[in-house]
Chain A
Amino acid sequence: MKHLKPGLVHVPVTPFKADQSIDYDLYAKVLEFHIANGADALALPMQQAEDVSLTDIEVRELLAFAIKQVKGRVPVIAHISDPGTGIAVERAKYAEQLGAAAIASHPPYFWHPKPSMVVEHLVQIGKGVKLPFYVCTPVVEDAGTHMTAEMVLDVVKQLDNIAGVIDASMRFVFMVEVISLGREIKPDLQFIAGTDFMVPNATVGGMGALSPLSSVAPKLARQMFELCEKQKFVEARKLQEQMAELHHLIKKGGRAGLKTAMRAMNRPCGDPRLPALSLGEPEMSLLAQRVAATAYLSAEPRGW
């Protein structure tokens, strides 16, 4: 298995045209923006990229396009999650053939299987490839399967190519349990923040972060990440609070909130794909005003 240390991973959105098709011209701009603005790696299509709204063929095309566009300048982590184990395994193999640097998988969407079945689902995807494999834990409030530390440790024991965990659950106890007990099984097990709340993750011994808000504030993400790398956690508090404020500003608008904020930064990526709805004009305008008025965003890049 090749070793991968992802660093600060940007999470590109998927731009759509008015007819709901993927806008690949714009997607190329999105990818170039992230590479030019501090991405050590890219993870796609993550949930912020509306992965569940893409067909199997679209995910394959999108991965192929992205890997070709990136041309090896940074590693591309392929996010492969699906309710069906077999579908996910085949898609992971395809991503490996394309040249993805790693595979990241959530527990199966939609079902609520027993813990052993979730573990088996993830193990089968991991065993389907030789690439480094990351288990993604979902946001606690999200629908789907809850991952316990014991389930993750079970996957770690069973997979030779397990590289680590990408954690969006943000649970303190889970973080500490997986890091401390997981590294007794696999000493180089990575524990990567799956959200922009990277300070708590790094403090307890995590490494690396996926930054969904890098689409809006890549400089802020980079500054906070570098302070974490230097173990300057207390010094990173102010930046973490700014990122938290931005997160809350955008969160209630869902996928549309993120794309609206990007539009306010002069990087329009269209509307979210149905069934996700765009924000209404008043909400969109209010969010745009708030983004424009946020002082710490003044240093962030506008446009592509």
Chain B
Amino acid sequence: MSTVLEAPAAKPAAKPPFVLKGVMQAPVTPLHADFSVDYDNLAKMVDFHVRNGAPAIAWPHHKAESPNLTMAERKQGAEVLIKTVARRVPVSIFVGSLSEEDSLDLTRHAEKAGADMLLTISPYCRRPTQEEIFRSITRIGTHTELPILTYNSPWRNGEGVEFTSELVQRLIERLPNYIGMKDASFHSEKFTEISRVALNMRPHFSIIMGLEHLLASYPLGACGSFSSCGAIAPNLCNRFFAALEAHDWPTARTCQYKITKLYRLFKDQYPSSLKGAMISMGRDAGPIRPPLPTASKERVDFLCKQLEILDVFNTEPHGW
């Protein structure tokens, strides 16, 4: 039997120059009809999020089709993002990729371009061991002065890249610039074990939920989320977090339930339906790169009807 993991005393770490909390926005990547990146609309998208209350901007997450962007496109997009945000809110650049060498290259570029922090993960599609993840994150984390977040993405049956509490403890001990985690475990036991250990070691450690599955974890220390539906309903996102901060649980539940209904619309071939729904909001972000499908006209019409049923058009901003 293994012994239970105790939270040891925290090693001192520099407090990040910003506080991460709230429903943060992770923009999609707008594309032209020929599938090239539409950097002008990317700037519009980012500016839209900042003007509509995003407390931080993060790009390019999977919703932004990051596995389908070239390194050159990711670098250029990061530059557009940082320039557009212009220090109004913190900017996180995702540097995860299939190759660790690419991740290091993106890390160097993001730091030089002026990012505020990095989100990273051990290269996926490999079922890495805990030791491999530790070495991978340590390699990237010691390669930069920027604060880093890790992306906890466990799947069922041991697939994916899972950051156990033991691994988080080792990384906090090793990396003074390890400031937080994007958590996609969405699981009471896994989340509680990570938050129990991490927040006792490093009280400023930021646990940010993937997508918007925030309500269950907020009382246990989650500080916010990276939004999936902010491109459609930023007012709802902001109202949700305000209710959480006020401990107004009935309102928070109402918001979470509505957000979950939106996410159920978008999760099929994500982010195809999200981009499809953006058309009805007057924010056309173009097609999706294959192999994912672009939403058909029928799908766009269906999404439009669902947004109407959910009273999105009367409560959320239209256009850029």
Using a CB–CB distance below 8 Å, which chain A residues touch chain B? Answer: 140, 146, 170-173, 175-177, 179-180, 195, 197, 199-201, 203-205, 231, 233-234, 236-237, 240-241, 244-245, 247-249, 252-253, 257, 279, 283, 286-287, 290
18 A–B pairs (Cβ distance < 8 Å), ordered by A: A140-B187, A146-B156, A172-B188, A176-B260, A180-B257, A200-B217, A200-B219, A201-B216, A203-B218, A204-B256, A231-B247, A234-B247, A237-B219, A244-B196, A248-B5, A249-B4, A252-B1, A286-B1
A176→B1 contact, CB < 8 A: no
* Option from B193, B247, B256, B261 in Cβ contact (under 8 Å) with A244: B193
Which partner residue on chain B sits nearest A246 by CB separation? B4
Contact yes or no, A176 B220, CB < 8 A: no
Q: How large is the interface on B (under 10, 10 to 19, 20 to 34, 35 or more residues)?
A: 20 to 34
Residue with the highest number of chain B CB atoms closer than 10 Å, among A171, A247, A279: A171
| Residues on B with beta carbons closer than 8 Å to the beta carbon of A279 | 1
| Cα distance, A50 to B186, chains bound together (Å) | 28
**Most chain A Cβ neighbours within 10 Å, of B186, B192, B216, B261:** B216
List the 5 closest A-B pairs by CB distance, nearest first: A233-B219, A200-B216, A197-B188, A180-B257, A170-B188
Task: Give Cα distance in the complex from A231 to B186, angstroms.
Answer: 21
Binding site for A on B (CB under 8 A): 1-5, 156, 186-189, 191-193, 195-196, 213, 215-221, 247, 249, 253, 256-257, 260-261, 264
A244 and B257 alpha carbons, distance in the complex (Å): 26
Which residues from A are CB-within-8-Å of B187? Answer: 140, 170-172
Residue of B nearest to A149 (CB): B264
> Within the assembled complex, what's the spacing in Å between the Cα atoms of A283 and B191?
27
CA distance A236 to B196 in the complex (A): 13
List 15 additional A-B contacts (Cβ < 8 Å) besides A171-B187, A237-B219, A241-B192.
Answer: A171-B186, A176-B260, A177-B260, A179-B257, A197-B189, A199-B188, A200-B192, A203-B216, A203-B249, A240-B192, A241-B196, A248-B4, A249-B4, A286-B1, A287-B1
Partner of A233, one of B4, B249, B257: B249
For A234, the chain B residues whose CB sits under 8 A away are 219, 247
Q: Are B189 and A170 in contact (CB under 8 A)?
A: yes
B306 to chain A, nearest CB (A): 14
- Chain B: which residue is nearest A231 at the CB level? B249
Distance in angstroms between the alpha carbons of A203 and B215 in the assembled complex: 7
Alpha-carbon distance A257/B1, docked complex (angstroms):
9
CA distance A126 to B138 in the complex (A): 53
Write the nearest CB–CB distance from B158 to chain A, whole angstroms: 9
Cα–Cα, bound, A236→B247 (Å): 13
Please report the C-alpha to C-alpha distance between residue A248 and residue B217 in the assembled complex, in whole angstroms.
Answer: 18
Q: A278: shortest Cβ distance to chain B, in Å?
A: 11
> Which residue of the partner chain, among A171, A180, A237, contacts B260 with CB atoms under 8 Å?
A180
Question: Which residue of A is nearest B211, CB measured?
Answer: A173
A176, B264: Cβ atoms under 8 Å?
no
Shortest distance from the beta carbon of A174 to any chain B beta carbon, whole Å: 9
Cβ–Cβ contact A172 & B216, under 8 A: yes
* Minimum CB–CB distance for A200 against chain B, Å: 4
Q: Which of A146, A171, A204 makes the CB contact (< 8 A) with B215?
A: A204
Residue of A nearest to B260 (CB): A176
A283, B249: Cβ atoms under 8 Å? no
Please name all residues of chain A whose beta carbon is closer than 8 Å to the beta carbon of B253 when the two chains form the complex: 204-205
A146 to B261, CA, bound (A): 22
For residue A294, give the distance in angstroms from its CB to the closest CB of chain B.
9
With A172-B216, A244-B193, A245-B196 known as contacts, the answer to whether A286 contacts B3 (CB < 8 A) is: yes
CB distance from A247 to the nearest CB of B (A): 7
CA distance A204 to B187 in the complex (A): 13
Contact in complex: B215, A195 (CB < 8 Å):
no
- Cα distance A279–B2 when bound, in Å? 12
Q: Given A140-B187, A173-B186, A201-B188, are A237 and B4 also a contact pair (CB < 8 Å)? A: no
Would you call A195 and B189 a contact (CB within 8 A)? yes
Smallest CB separation, A165 vs chain B (Å): 14
A221 CB to nearest chain B CB (Å): 15
Verify A236–B219 contact, CB threshold 8 A.
yes
When the two chains form their complex, are residues A176 and B215 in contact, meaning their CB atoms are under 8 A apart? yes
Q: Which residues of B contact A236 (CB under 8 A)?
A: 219
Query: Contact between A244 and B3 (Cβ–Cβ < 8 Å)?
Result: no
- What's the minimum C-beta distance from A266 to chain B, rounded to whole angstroms? 21
Contact B3 A204 (CB under 8 A): no
**Do A290 and B3 touch across chains, with their CB atoms under 8 A apart?**
yes
Q: Are B219 and A173 in contact (CB under 8 A)?
A: no
Select one of B193, B213, B216 contacting A248, CB under 8 A: B193
Chain A residue nearest to B247 in the complex (CB): A234
* B188:A195 contact, CB within 8 angstroms: yes
Residues of B within 8 A of A286 (CB): 1, 3
| Smallest beta-carbon distance A167→chain B, Å | 9
With A197-B189, A244-B189, A252-B2 known to touch, is A172 a contact of B219 (CB < 8 Å)? no
CB-defined contacts of A200 to chain B, threshold 8 Å: 188, 191-192, 216-217, 219-220
Cβ of B297 to closest chain A Cβ, rounded Å: 27
| Docked pose: A236 CA to B221 CA in angstroms | 11
Which residue of chain B has the shortest Cβ distance to A198 in the bound complex? B188
With a CB–CB cut-off of 8 A, which chain B residues contact A231?
247, 249
In the complex, which residues of chain B have a beta carbon less than 8 angstroms from the beta carbon of A237?
219-221
CB neighbours (8 Å) of A170 from chain B are 187-189
Q: Which residue of A lies closest to B261 (CB)?
A: A180
Contacts of B257 in A (CB 8 A): 176, 179-180
B216 near A175 with CB under 8 A, answer yes
Which residues of chain B have C-beta atoms less than 8 A from A249's C-beta? 4
